[in-house]
Amino acid sequence: MTSPGRRLRRIIEKRALLLPGAFNAFSAELIERAGFEAVYISGAGLANGVAGVPDVGLLSLAEVTAQAAYIARAVKIPAIADADTGFGEGIHLVRAVEGFETAGVAGIQIEDQAFPKRCGHLPGKSLIPAREMVQKIQAATRARRDPDFLIIARTDARGVTGFRDAVDRARRYLDVGADVIFPEALESAEEFTKFAEKIKAPLLANMTEFGKSPLLSAEELSRIGYRLILFPMTLFRTAAKAMEETLEALKKEGTSRRLLGRMQSRRDLYEVIRYADYERLDQDLASQKPGPKRSNRRKK
């Protein structure tokens, strides 16, 4: 059976890939149903949407891998998980890789921020030395059991120490085995182009809204060399806005009648979550005749 990492590698070897962010298993199922070929498990989405906390490294490894496992089991398309700063150093990162592989994802993204991390498009970030990130990448590549499990190295250097340091760090991360480079918070189309010219490797572009980067199209980014084009919080933000408007209308009107046309129907919901499959399984199990009882007594 082909691993999730192998399937993802085959896709990006052929073409650029749009990667919407999921914040729970249901949103991942919607992404798959819409025809996307892979899904990103957003660290911000899990922090904000599952735990109701800011994206500042508050969720534990156990919490994140549990959510990643729900998502990976819910869909057939490969998933990439946001592993933030790797949940520690050395042996802690080894354990994190083991946990994410067990959860069934295709790979993880780790970043070179110091803990506690910050949103990549906000001020107040700080970096670990490049040599420490190099050691993290080496630990991650050594720990993976599947050689196709992707290690995506993100550098936040552009917003802290500048564009040149981001390029220098990317080269060092590639040299020790990173599979994909993720330059966070580039500030212009020219910077995206220049980075792709200097770093000849699979690249990830983050098109998060309301951040420092211009919202370039997948076509533009693919043309200049980016293979993974990430929309980490697009689904979350549109869903949150719709929920706010719905609650406002419900509070004002005291009924949901006017909202029916804006809702996903029960039938559509059940199709997404494969309700009929579970119902058939339940009926099949109930119809089975019980087998003969086995004696627990040992023969003498």
Q: For residue range 152-197, what is the model confidence (pLDDT) as tens digits?
A: 999 999 999 999 999 999 999 999 999 999 999 999 999 999 999 9
The more confidently predicted of residues 293 and 299 is 293
Question: Where does the pLDDT of residue 258 fall: very low under 50, low under 70, confident under 90, or very high at 90 and above?
Answer: very high
Question: Where does the pLDDT of residue 293 fall: very low under 50, low under 70, confident under 90, or very high at 90 and above?
Answer: low
Q: Does the pLDDT value for residue 1 go beyond 90?
A: no
| Residue listed under structure tokens 């040299």 | 175
Q: What are the structural domains of the chain?
A: 4-240 (3.20.20.60), 253-286 (no CATH)
**DSSP codes of every residue in the chain:** ---HHHHHHHHHHHS-EEEEEESSHHHHHHHHHTT-S-EEE-HHHIIIIII---SSS-S-HHHHHHHHHHHHHH-SS-EEEE-TT-SSSTHHHHHHHHHHHHHT-SEEEEE-BPSSP--TTSS---B--HHHHHHHHHHHHHH-SSTTSEEEEEE-GGGTT-HHHHHHHHHHHHHTT-SEEEETT--SHHHHHHHHHH--S-EEEE--TTSSS----HHHHHHHTEEEEEESSHHHHHHHHHHHHHHHHHHHHS-SGGGGGGSPPHHHHHHHTTHHHHHHHHHHHHHSPP-PPPP-PPP-
The pLDDT value given to residue 300: 47
pTM listed for this prediction: 0.92
| Residue listed under structure tokens 């989405």 | 45
What average pLDDT score do residues 128-132 get?
Answer: 97
Q: Does the pLDDT value for residue 245 go beyond 70?
A: yes
Residue 80 to residue 93: CA distance in whole angstroms: 16
Question: CB neighbours of 111 closer than 8 A, spacing ≥ 6?
Answer: 84, 85, 117, 120, 153, 154, 155, 156, 182, 184
pLDDT single digits (tens) 4-24: 999 999 999 999 999 999 999
pLDDT single digits (tens) 189-230: 999 999 999 999 999 999 999 999 999 999 999 999 999 999
